[in-house]
Amino acid sequence: MHYRKLRGDALFDGFRLRPDSVLVMAEDGVVADIVPVADAPDAEFHAGILSPGFVNCHCHLELSHMKGLIPEGTGLVDFVFSIVSQRQAGVDAIDDAIRAGEEEMIRAGIVAVGDICNNESTLAQKREARLHYTNFIEASGWLPAVSEARFERALGLFEAFESLQSSGRAQTSIVPHAPYSVSPELWARLRPAMQQKIVSIHNQETAQEDEFFRTGGGDFNRMYELMRIDSSHHQPTGRSSLQSYYHQLDGAAHVLLVHDTFTTQADIDFIRGRPGAKEPSFCLCINANLYIERRLPPVELLLTNDCHIVLGTDSLASNHSLSIGDEMAAFRKHFPGIPVETLLTWATSNGARALGISDRYGSFGKGKRPGVVAVGDGGVRVLG
Shortest Å distance, C-beta 258 to Zn ion: 6
| Euclidean distance between CA atoms 260 and 240, whole angstroms | 12
Torsion of CA 200, 205, 209, 213, to 10 degrees: 40
Minimum distance from CB of 178 to Zn ion (Å)? 9
Q: Which is nearer to Zn ion, 190 or 288 (CB)?
A: 288
Binding mask 269-308 for Zn ion (x = CB under 5 A): ----------------------------------------
Query: Of 56 and 348, which has the nearer Cβ to Zn ion?
Result: 56
- Could you tell me which of 264, 220, 276, 259 has the C-alpha nearest to residue 239? 264
List residues bridging with 176 in a β-sheet: 139
Query: For residues 182 and 190, is the Cβ–Cβ distance under 8 A?
Result: yes
DSSP one-letter string for 332-361: HHH-TTS-HHHHHHIIIIIHHHHTT-TTTS
Closest CB to Zn ion among residues 12, 161: 161
Return the number of the residue (23 or 201) whose C-beta is nearest Zn ion: 201
Residue number, 24 or 80, with CB nearest to Zn ion: 80
Cβ within 8 Å of residue 296, ≥6 positions away: 261, 286, 289, 290, 334, 335
Determine phi and psi for 124, rounding to 5 degrees. -60, -45
CB 259 to Zn ion: min, Å: 7
Indicate the residue among 285 and 375 with the shorter CB distance to Zn ion. Answer: 285
Q: How many residues bind Zn ion (CB under 5 A)?
A: 1
Coil, strand, or helix at residue 245?
Answer: helix
The nearest distance, CB 27 to Zn ion, in angstroms, is 37
User: How many Cα atoms occupy the beta-carbon half-sphere of 288 within 13 Å?
Assistant: 28
Q: How far is the CB of 116 from Zn ion (least distance, A)?
A: 6
Residue (181 or 358) nearer to Zn ion, CB:
181
Output the CA–CA distances (angstroms, integers) from residue 257 to 123, 200, 309, 311, in the order listed. Answer: 25, 6, 10, 11
171-210 residues in contact with Zn ion (CB under 5 A) are: none
Kindly tell me which of 113 and 375 has the beta carbon lying closer to Zn ion: 113
CB atoms within 10 A of CB 302: 17
Given a contact cutoff of 8 angstroms between Cβ atoms, the answer to whether 209 and 241 are in contact is: yes
Closest approach, Cβ 252 to Zn ion, in A, equals: 18
Report the relative pairing of strands 372-376 and 3-12 from DSSP bridges. unpaired
Chain residues 304-363 in contact with Zn ion, contact rule CB under 5 A: 314
Min separation Cβ 119 and Zn ion, Å? 15
Which residue number, 313 or 363, has a Cβ lying nearer to Zn ion?
313
Contact (Cβ atoms closer than 8 angstroms) between residue 342 and residue 331: no
For residue 199, the cross-strand partners are: 255
Q: How far is the CB of 155 from Zn ion (least distance, A)?
A: 21
Closest residue to Zn ion in the complex (CB): 314
Site for Zn ion in 91-110 (CB under 5 A): none
For the bound state, the minimum distance from the C-beta of residue 26 to Zn ion, rounded and expressed in Å, comes to 36
**Chain contacts with Zn ion (rule: CB under 5 A):** 314
